[in-house]
A and B are shown apart, each in its own frame.
Chain A
Amino acid sequence: MRCSEFKEGAWAYALGVLEPNERAALDRHLAEPIAHEGCRAELDRAFRTTAAMGEMAPAVQPPADAWGKIEARIAREGRANVLPMRRRSWVPFAAAFAAAAAAAFVFVLAKAWTYRNALIEKNEQLSRLSGVVAEREACRQELESMRQSSELQRAALALLELPETRLVPMTGRQPSRGNALLNIEQRKAMVLITALAPAVGKDYELWVIRKGSAPVAAGILKPERDGKVIAEVKPELLQAGRPDIFAVTVEPPGGSPAPTTDPFLIGEVNPG
């Protein structure tokens, strides 16, 4: 078999539609110690394509007890690297008593030591009191930010579930990427962006653009520590109808009334 023949057959191989003898012939060719002309790469490409075909079937949530059954089977059938439980050894009564007495003595000593440490800690806490107030405020702000982020996540999921919501892929400067979710019937839009580098001395600004009109500022994007950002577009910015473009630019702190740099990320709304 020549490499060109192998590469023709690789697609059927990956899809699993070959007869056993045909499959064996391809296996033999792949194992041949020759200078292959991209045979393995073509086979990998075919496998990737086959793997993507799973998207043809709708995703269906399995029953709630399915994971429990899998866990039970793992526990039953397991793997060699799961450590066996330690066997309990028998301890003669006298030895056990002696061990208990020793343990009690150690316990009392430990308690006294803990009490002493607690006193020291209390003193230190008093001296740190002023710092604690600032820490508490920072903590409150962080919790508030988490609450807002969680609300935005829920809003994004709800928007995604609406059948008429369109996904507008936003691409541009790698590795940042994202999607705008647009539901023009309900005048709702959100952007979900990932891998956004922290903005130092600058801000990311979102723009809603209609062809023939000036870009409209739609807010500053503040990425989380993990580079993700979810933001909602104000409904009034969608009153004029479907936007043509969502874009993100890098602007001076606080944003600009008009973009001052080329788009960092851009997503064009398909007119269809």
Chain B
Amino acid sequence: MRRMGNLRSSPAQEASGADRRLLERVIEGDSAALRTIYDRCSPRAFGVSLRILGARPDAEEVLQETFLEVWKRAREYNPDRGSVEGWVVTIARSRSIDRLRSRGAAAQLSAADPSSSMSMGTPAPLEVAERRQNSERVAAALKELPPEQRRVLELAYFEGLSQSEIATRLGDPLGTVKTRVRLGMEKLAGLLAEPEGAR
């Protein structure tokens, strides 16, 4: 598995060179570099935590844990598995689901705060435009999934349910859920890999 240690030899990845240099600085203990990553990634990480946990105080706690983990585990970032922002968001999602499970409060789930604003940390229009383009792309890809596949992916991603739990929740056979997870993910991967304008 590729790690930060041999980043320079990795093939073209989603992670930009600037991102990789930032993480190298974080490994060296440069908190200003972590701040830059925070400015860039915290709105999305916080948005995911808020969607999963529903409560702002919990999401704020998770945000702290997430960036503390980035600080301590920067060396473990693997560019083969996505961008730095994707990695940070994945950590935020995992910690949010851990917290959700530990408080046993699936019933407390609520939709994302409707008053929350779509806002970006770094006021660089080129980056903002690329991020918005990326969001629109993922949203468009998700829309192309059959509703039953999208539903299982949302339950898995935002509620952290296992396939068995999803089957119980939806009253569907486990085999059907497994198939929907696989087909949904495969289709999503294919749609996201398509060049712009191919659809």
Residues of A within 8 A of B (CB): 8, 11-12, 14-19, 40, 44-63, 66-67, 69-71, 73-74, 77, 79, 81-82, 153, 156-157, 160, 167, 169, 171, 178-179, 181, 192, 194, 228, 230, 268
Contacts and interface: CB of A to CB of B under 8 A. Distances in A.
Given A11-B181, A57-B48, A74 B31 contact: yes
Interface residues of B, number: 86
Q: Is the interface of A mostly helix, strand, loop or mixed?
A: helix
B110 to A, nearest CB: 13
A48 B63 contact: no
B127 to A, nearest CB: 9
Contacts of B95: none
B163 to A, nearest CB: 5
Interface of B: 1, 14, 28-29, 31, 34-35, 38, 42-48, 50-51, 56, 60, 63-64, 67-68, 71-72, 78, 80-83, 85-87, 89-90, 92-94, 97, 112-113, 116-121, 123-126, 128-139, 142, 153-154, 156-158, 160-164, 166, 178, 181-182, 185-186, 188-189, 192, 195-197
Contacts of B121: 61
B90 A50 contact: yes
Q: Is the interface of B mostly helix, strand, loop or mixed?
A: helix
Contacts of A57: 44, 47-48, 50-51, 112, 158
A77 B126 CA distance: 36
Nearest to A63: B60
17 contacts: A47-B80, A48-B14, A48-B189, A54-B48, A54-B85, A55-B134, A60-B117, A61-B43, A63-B60, A81-B28, A171-B197, A178-B126, A179-B129, A179-B130, A192-B129, A230-B125, A230-B126
A73 to B, nearest CB: 5
Contacts of B50: 57, 60
Nearest to B186: A11
Contacts of B46: 59-62, 66
B111 to A, nearest CB: 10
A15 B185 contact: yes
A23 B123 CA distance: 41
Contacts of B186: 11
A224 B195 CA distance: 27
Contacts of A48: 14, 80-82, 86, 189
